[in-house]
């Protein structure tokens, strides 16, 4: 029997569209001789669409799409998680989403590939749902996903294991409201200008700005606080941006490294998703020492958060000094055929479809080890 792979895409995230691109590549590449692909789309308002119509339902971008066929079935007691004793109870209206677990997800899927980026996808929430249901899934678990998503927690863990990174200051909306003057002074004393201001929990450069003076700093903090209740500010590093792929569970391996050359002031949303916004150079031109540092810090970073399956670890290699600093780890990196992560593995001898086979294998291994 073929392995039934549920590919989850879309999601309640600023990176919804990016996820659609990644998932399309994944679904096109899953070999129909070995896999039955079950598309599972999550709309921006959190509705689930399972099966053939899922792709269309999301593309239609109807903000309040009618519940799909499977949604209507969901209230029937076919869901194996409904205790027979409570089946007789009359259904209650559920106001929160996901307002139901699609029975197809629960009963008919062997492994899930959550091709979701950002909140409610890359941050441990969908991973938690899949743990509860007991379905193996590709990529990191709850802890690693949450740590990879939260730039403050991530940096705390990295410094605990001695991974070099830019200096930073983190604070909450409440502490900013109580005493913004003290926080501004701390940033100016410890980091100086220019500095980078970021919402703690986001990706794709959304809500990130470079501040060159106090006025820009305050403006940037307000922008970041509109996305998240926690904000991180970092010293700006004048650096080349180097990225490397990690693959594996307990014995992860590193791909060749690649370099991002943004055509804009920094690698912002436009540079990431506009054609020609950035150039990818694979392999990156690094000295043997730089290459070794990138590889070993990447594996250390992956293990520090207890990553599994895959991750892309992003670095700054400082101009002039050659200092190698970790910027971040992404537990569900962009996954189109043209994205950095798959291209790094292709350059390391692992083609896109073989990479998918390996990730699915790792998902099943991880599940077996944990149960």
Which x/- pattern, by CB under 5 A, does the window 291-330 give for Mg ion? Answer: -------------------------------------x-x
CB 77 within 8 A of CB 87: yes
CB of 195 to ligand ADP, least distance (A): 7
Rounded to an integer, what distance in angstroms lies between the CA atom of residue 159 and that of residue 30?
Answer: 39
Stretch that binds ligand ADP, among 94-102, 124-132, 234-242, 243-251 (CB under 6 A): 234-242
Region of 51 (left: φ > 0; alpha: ψ -120 to 50; beta: rest) is: left
> Can you tell me which of 137, 158, 176, 196 binds ligand ADP, judged by CB under 6 A?
196
- Residue 212 beta carbon to Mg ion: minimum distance, rounded to whole angstroms: 21
Distance CA 199, CA 205 (A): 9
Minimum distance, C-beta of residue 291 to ligand ADP, in the bound complex (Å) = 20
Smallest distance, ligand ADP to C-beta of residue 165, A:
9
Strand partners, 168: 234
Find the shortest distance in angstroms from Cβ 151 to Mg ion: 8
Among 203, 207, 252, 334, binds Mg ion (CB under 5 A): 203
For Mg ion, the closer CB: 47 or 151: 151
| Angstrom distance (rounded) from CA 90 to CA 103 | 18
- Piece of the chain touching Mg ion by CB under 5 A; list 12-20, 85-93, 110-118, 197-205: 197-205
Contact between 241 and ligand ADP per CB under 6 A: yes
Instruction: Give whichever of 37 and 330 is closer to Mg ion, judged by the CB atom.
Output: 330
334 binds Mg ion (CB under 5 A): no
226 HSE (CA, 13 A, CB side): 9
Of 100-108, 184-192, 197-205, 212-220, the window that binds ligand ADP (rule: CB under 6 A) is 197-205
Q: Find where tokens 């020609």 sit.
A: 276
- The residue among 110 and 122 lying less far from ligand ADP, judged by its C-beta, is 122
Q: Decide: residue 106, CB within 10 A, 0-12 exposed, 13-18 middle, 19+ buried.
A: middle
110 versus 150: smaller Cβ distance to Mg ion: 150
Q: Which one of ligand ADP, Mg ion, none is in contact with 113 (Cβ closer than 5 to 8 A by kind)?
A: none
> Which one of ligand ADP, Mg ion, none is in contact with 39 (Cβ closer than 5 to 8 A by kind)?
none
How, if at all, do strands 168-172 and 35-42 pair? unpaired
CB 180 to Mg ion: min, Å = 26
Could you say which of 166, 294, 332, 360 contacts ligand ADP (CB under 6 A)?
Answer: 166
**In this chain, which of 55, 171, 227, 267 binds ligand ADP, going by CB under 6 A?**
267
Q: Minimum Å distance from CB 188 to Mg ion?
A: 25
Binds 346: which of Mg ion, ligand ADP, none (CB < 5-8 Å by kind): none
- Rule CB under 6 A: which residues touch ligand ADP? 166, 196, 198, 202-205, 208, 234, 236-237, 241, 266-267, 314, 327-328
- Rule CB under 5 A: which residues touch Mg ion? 203, 328, 330
């Amino acid at each position: 029997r073929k392995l039934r792979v549920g590919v989850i895409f879309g999601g309640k995230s600023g990176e919804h569209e990016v996820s659609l691109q990644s998932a399309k590549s994944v679904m096109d590449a899953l070999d129909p001789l070995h896999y039955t692909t079950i598309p599972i789309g999550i709309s921006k308002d959190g509705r689930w669409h399972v099966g053939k119509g899922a792709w269309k339902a999301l593309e239609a971008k109807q903000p309040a799409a009618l519940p799909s066929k499977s949604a209507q079935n969901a209230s029937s007691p076919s869901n194996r998680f409904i205790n027979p004793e409570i089946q007789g109870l009359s259904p209650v209206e559920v106001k929160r989403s996901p307002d139901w677990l699609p029975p197809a997800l629960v009963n008919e899927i062997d492994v899930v590939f959550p091709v979701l980026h950002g909140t409610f996808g890359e941050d441990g929430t969908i991973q938690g749902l899949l743990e509860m249901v007991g379905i193996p899934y590709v990529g990191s678990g709850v802890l690693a996903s949450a740590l990879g998503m939260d730039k403050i927690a991530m940096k705390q863990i990295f410094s605990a294991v001695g991974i070099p990174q830019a200096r930073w200051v983190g604070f909450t909306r409440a502490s900013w409201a109580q005493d913004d003057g003290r926080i501004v002074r701390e940033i100016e004393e410890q980091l100086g200008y220019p500095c980078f201001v970021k919402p703690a929990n986001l990706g794709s450069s959304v809500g990130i700005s470079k501040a060159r003076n106090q006025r820009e700093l305050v403006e940037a903090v307000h922008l970041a606080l509109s996305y998240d209740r926690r904000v991180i500010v970092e010293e700006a590093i004048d650096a080349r941006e180097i990225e490397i792929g990690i693959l594996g569970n307990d014995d992860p391996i590193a791909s060749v490294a690649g370099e991002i050359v943004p055509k804009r002031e920094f690698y912002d949303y436009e540079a990431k998703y506009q054609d020609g916004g950035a150039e990818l150079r694979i392999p990156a031109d690094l000295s043997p020492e730089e290459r070794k540092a990138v590889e070993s810090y990447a594996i250390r970073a992956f293990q520090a958060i207890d990553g599994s399956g895959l991750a892309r670890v992003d670095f700054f290699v400082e101009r002039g000094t050659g200092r190698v600093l970790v910027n971040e780890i992404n537990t569900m990196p962009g996954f189109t055929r043209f994205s950095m992560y798959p291209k790094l593995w292709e350059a390391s001898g692992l083609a896109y479809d073989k990479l998918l086979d390996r990730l699915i294998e790792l998902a099943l291994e991880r599940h077996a080890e944990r149960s």
